[in-house]
Every structure is written in C-alpha cells, then in structure tokens.
Amino acid sequence: MPQAYSLLCPTRGRPAQARDAVLSAFETARDPSRLESLLYVDNDDPELPSYEEMVKTLAKELPGGRVRLISEPRMGVGRAFNHLTSVATGDVFVTATDDQFFLSEGWDVRLDTETARFPDGIYCFWFNDNWESQNFCTAPILSRIWVETLGYMFSPLFEHFFSDAWIWMLAKTLDRAVYIDDMTVEHRHWKTGKVEKDETYKANESKPGDSRYARDREVIDQFERYFHTDTELLRSLMI
C-alpha cells in the first residue's frame, strides 16, 4: 500500500515564501492526493492573517491535497516540529520548511522505493539540498514508527541547533542514514546566497552574551547517555 507523506513546515513571517515551498512539493509529486502539508505559525506572528488566507486558497487549489494551519504560542522550531507530528496523519514525516523547494519530479515515488527497503521503519533519508548534500542531513525524513518510538522528531534537549545532527548521528550509528542524491529539494538558506537574510533568520541567530549555539553543542556531550538509550530503542525494532 502506498505511503502517505506529511510535510512539516514551521514558518514565521514568510507567507508568500511558504506558499511557494508548499506548491513545489505538491506540483512535483506523482500522486499529490496522498500528501498533507502542515504549517505551524506562532499566534503572535504579525503575518498570521496572511497565512490563514494563503492556506484557505491553497486548500482549494491543490488537486486532492490537504493543507492545514496550526497556530499556537511560540515554542521554537524543534518543538513546533514535534507538535506537528502529533496531529499529522501520514506514515512518513518529511521536513519541508519554508526555505526548501522541491525541484525533482516524482520525489514521492522515489521515497516509496526507499521506504520499501526498510519495512521496520527505522531509517533517516534526506535529499540533495544543493548545499550540504551528502555531507550532512539538515532535512531528515523519518517514519512514524521512528518518531513514536522515541517520543520526538527533534530532541527537546536542544533549543535550536544540532537537533538535526542528533537524528543523523542516530541513523549513522544504526547504519540507516540514506542520502538520496538523485532527488533535489533545494535549501534556499541565506548562507547559500539565494535569499536575503530576513528577520526570521536573524531571530534564530545567537546573540552576544546568549549563545544558543554553544549551549546546544554542550548538550551532545552532556546527554550522551540519552543518545545511547535512543539508539538501543531503535535498534530493538530493526529486522
């Protein structure tokens, strides 16, 4: 039976960009009827009315596609992802943020092939992002089984940074980290020079005297025992 895919998108201050990102996923999918796109928008976002209107329009325009807006108090990107997994209906959770644009036709069918290789659901896939590519996974694709086993998609131990690295390291430890090089989902981060550094990017930066980056880096060593526990939980399900 074909997998259903939940595209997860915490977003702030970028309704037009988020619309284009969502459209790119649906327009390049072979079977968009089995996709859903979930956007998390903080309820204090000044652009919230624009998001609401955009989602209503998309829900009517997309063929068989489902687009939903979840708006609650600001909780940070990682926790927003986790909240979206709790309301998502898909079998597979796809990181699909507002600066990721799907460029390859049939990416959903390609994922069907990959997920079929691991019927136990223990895997972490990522597409070529025209930035980090095979070197690092910044946009993990995980099964519902993986997330429900651990109780999170992005570890709540981290404030903002290294949560993707945690997932990637878990998958590498289990030899289930799979880079899909023939499908491109371009990560148009400001550091690539393809977009401007807007207020949302600036808000997520570390500031003098308040280095979230340094604090999050310390978490990896401080809570190594949790990493080993999570590895064994996942390993216990592997066929």
Please, what is the Cα angle at 183 between 180 and 189, to 5 degrees? 95
What pTM was computed for the model?
A: 0.90
The DSSP element (H or E) to which 92 belongs, if any, is strand 92-95
Nearest to 21 by CA among 139, 155, 146: 139
CATH number of residue 18's parent domain = 3.90.550.10
Q: Tell me the residue length of the chain.
A: 239
**pLDDT tens across 88-127, in order?**
999 999 999 999 999 999 999 999 999 999 999 999 999 9
Mean pLDDT in the chain? 91
Crossing angle for the helix pair 224-235 and 163-173, to the nearest 10 degrees: 50
DSSP string, 115-161: HHT-TT---EEEEE-SSSGGG--SS-EEEHHHHHHHT-SS-TT-SSS
How many domains, in total, are found in the chain? Answer: 1
pLDDT band at 219 (very low <50, low <70, confident <90, very high): confident
Q: Distance (Å, rounded) from C-alpha 132 to C-alpha 134?
A: 6
Report the b/e string of 191-224 with b at 16+ CB within 10 A. Answer: eeeeeeeeebeeeeeeeeeeebeebbeebbeeee
Under 8 Å between Cβ of 104 and 180: no
Average pLDDT score over residue span 42-67:
92
What is residue 1's predicted lDDT score, i.e. its pLDDT? 64
What is residue 27's predicted lDDT score, i.e. its pLDDT? 95
- Residues of the domain holding 225: 5-235
**pLDDT tens across 132-171, in order?**
788 889 999 999 999 999 999 999 988 878 889 999 999 9
**Chain center to CA of 9:** 7
What is residue 172's predicted lDDT score, i.e. its pLDDT? 97
Q: Which residues pair with 102 in a beta bridge?
A: 185
**pLDDT tens across 179-188, in order?**
999 999 999 8
